[in-house]
Amino acid sequence: MNLERMDDTFAQRLRSVLVKQVDASSPTRVRRRRWWVGVGVFAGVGLVGGVGAATAGFFTVPGADIVTEVAAPAEGVHTGTQTVDLGPAPEGATHISMELACLSAGTLYAEGGASMSCSPNGIDGWGGFTIALQPGKHSTEIRTSTPEMRYRLRATYVNQTPTEWAVNENGNTHGAPNDRGEPDLLSVIATNGKVGYSYAQELDEASGRTAAENFTSPEDARVWQEARLGKSFAVPVYGADGETVIGEFVIEGPPDMRKDP
């Protein structure tokens, strides 16, 4: 018997909490807001949206694409430039969904102009996206900056159906960001666990998107980043009316782990 273990009951409860948190997140959210990921870290549990996880039986956020896998994914580890053949597209397929993760340093280029650079330290290096299907096309090419670069690719045919944003009494759109842009109010989960909306403009100010647009040099960005170390920025979360405050969404600057207290 191994006694150096976490109590099993505690472990099982903790595990289910963790699994739920991850399930509630959205890959589309991460990729569409990549600028955000580099700038701050979300603490308000997460933004709802991107993919309405129809397959998982979740509710769909207005404006989110409903993405459903319609074929078994092709998954594998590759080295250097590769063409991945997915076979004939099944009925209902509208896009190819790809998830890439770096296993070594370098840059990956996908069709459609997406690229992803990875440092020697590993996974800054995760990206996922969908590309529209072209008739008769079964394969997709991933190019690498060096022939020895290693990466993991998961690719599959999906059906991607767009949905419309909802509009509240004040005429503000609300829901998830999509290819058409962002609604006035973005669907978020507040720190108290309630699902509500935050104004895109307020999120941009808190996350630094607004500031980032005004940087004139890398030095500006560095100074600004350092000023945010260890700080957090709260944004109100409203009901769909955009007026009733129901909680707050917190965006954290990077934790300051370098100094001795």
Partner 1 sequence: MGDMNTDDGGLWSRSLAGDGEAFGVLFDRHRDRVYRHAYRLAQNRPDAEDVSAAAFLELWRLRTRVRLVEHSVLPWLLVTTTNCALNLRRSRRRYEALLRSIPHAPAAADPADIFLSDDPFQGVDEHLASALRALKPVDLQLITLVVLEGYDLASAAGILGLGPEVAKTRLHRARHRLQEHLPGLNAPRQLTLLEEGQS
Residues that bind partner 1 (CB under 8 A): 2-7, 9-11, 13-15, 17-23, 25-27, 30, 37-38, 41-43, 51, 53, 99, 101, 103, 121-123, 126, 128, 152, 154, 193, 254-255, 257-258, 260-261
Contacts of 142 (CB under 8 A, 6+ apart): 78, 81, 82, 83, 84, 100, 108, 109, 110, 151, 153
Residue closest to 84 by CA, chosen among 110, 107, 66:
110
User: CB count, 10 Å around CB of 37?
Assistant: 15
As measured in angstroms, the least distance from the Cβ of 241 to partner 1 is: 26
Report the nearest approach of partner 1 to the CB of residue 111 (Å): 19
User: Least distance to partner 1 from the beta carbon of 139, Å?
Assistant: 21
Taking the complex as a whole, the smallest distance from the CB of residue 184 to partner 1 amounts, in Å, to: 25
**On the CB side of 57, how many CA atoms lie within 13 Å of its CA?**
0
Residue 88 or 230: which CB sits closer to partner 1?
Answer: 230
For partner 1, the closer of residues 113 and 120 by Cβ is 120
Which residue number, 136 or 193, has a Cβ lying nearer to partner 1? 193
Which residue(s) pair with 97 in the sheet?
Answer: 130, 156
Q: How far is the CB of 102 from partner 1 (least distance, A)?
A: 9
What's the CA gap between 172 and 76, in Å, rounded?
Answer: 44
Nearer to partner 1, 235 or 240 (CB): 235
260 CB neighbour count, 10 Å cutoff: 3
Nearer to partner 1, 171 or 258 (CB): 258
State which residue, 99 or 168, has the beta carbon closest to partner 1.
99
What distances in angstroms separate CA 160 from CA 40, 50, 52, 95, 231, one per listed residue? 29, 11, 10, 7, 38
Cβ proximity of 93 and 100 under 8 Å: no
DSSP strand E in the chain: where?
A: 41-42, 46-47, 51-52, 65-69, 74-79, 82-85, 95-102, 106-110, 115-118, 126-132, 139-144, 150-161, 166-167, 173-175, 185-189, 195-199, 232-238, 245-252
Residue 175: CB minimum distance to partner 1, A: 18
Nearer CB in complex with partner 1: 53/110: 53
To the nearest whole angstrom, how small is the minimum distance from the Cβ of residue 56 to partner 1?
9
